[in-house]
Amino acid sequence: MQTKKFRRVYPNGSAFAHLLGYRQIASEANLKEDACKEPLRLNDKLGVKGVEKLFECDLRPIKGHELIETNAQGKFVKTVSKVEPVSGKDITLSIDAELQQRAHEVIVQNVPKSDIEVDYPSKKISVIGLKPHTGEILLMLSYPSFDPQAFEDTVRTEIQTYLKDKAQPLYNRALLGTFPPGSVFKPMVAAAGLEEKVISPTETIQDNGYIEVGANKQRFHNWFYTKYGRTDGAVNMVMGLQRSNDIYFYKLGEKLGNDHIKAWAHTFGFGNKTGIALDDSPGLVPSDFWKRERIGEKWYLGDTYNLSIGQGYLLVTPLQMALASAVFAQDGQFCLPQLLKISNTITPRCKSLNLEQETLKVVREGMKKACESGGTGWPFFTFEPVKTGERIEVGCKTGTAQSHLESGLPHAWFTIFAPFEKPEIVLTILVEESGEGSSVAAPIAKEILTTYFQRSE
pLDDT score of 302:
97
pLDDT at 1 over 60: no
Checking if the pLDDT of 2 tops 70, the result is: no
The predicted structure's pLDDT at residue 457: 58
What is the mean predicted confidence (pLDDT) over 237-242? Answer: 99
- pLDDT value at residue 64: 75
Find the distance separating the first CA and the last CA of the chain, reported in whole Å: 56
**To 10 degrees, what angle do helices 301-308 and 258-267 make?**
30
- Local confidence band at 5 (pLDDT 50, 70, 90 cut-offs): low
Q: Report the sign of the C-alpha dihedral through residues 63, 64, 69, 75, in that order.
A: negative
pLDDT of residue 357: 98
In percent, how much of the chain has pLDDT > 90?
84
Mean pLDDT lowest among 35-49, 120-134, 170-184 = 35-49
Q: What is the mean pLDDT of the chain?
A: 94
- Give residue 329's pLDDT: 97
Is 205's pLDDT higher than 60? yes
Give the pLDDT confidence of 53-92 residue by residue, as tens digits: 999 999 998 877 778 888 888 888 888 888 777 888 999 9
**Using CA atoms, how far apart are residues 360 and 364, in angstroms rounded to an integer?**
6
Asked whether 280 and 142 are in contact (CB, 8 A), the reply is: no
Q: What is the mean pLDDT of residues 42-62?
A: 93
Query: pTM to 2 decimals?
Result: 0.94
Predicted pLDDT of residue 289: 97
Task: Write the CB contacts of 299 (distance below 8 Å, at least 6 apart in sequence).
Answer: 258, 287, 288, 291, 292
**97-106, 315-324, 341-350, 448-457: range with lowest mean pLDDT:** 448-457
357-380 per-position pLDDT tens digit: 999 999 999 999 999 999 999 999
Stated as kind and residue range, the H or E segment containing 175 is helix 173-176
Q: How much is the pLDDT for 110? A: 96
Residue 119: exposure state from Cβ atoms within 10 A (0-12, 13-18, ≥19) = exposed
pLDDT score at 215: 86
> What is the predicted pLDDT for the residue at 201?
98
| Pick from 116, 109, 33, 68: nearest CA to 379 | 116
Per-residue pLDDT, 66: 78
Domains and CATH numbers, the chain: 97-456 (3.40.710.10)
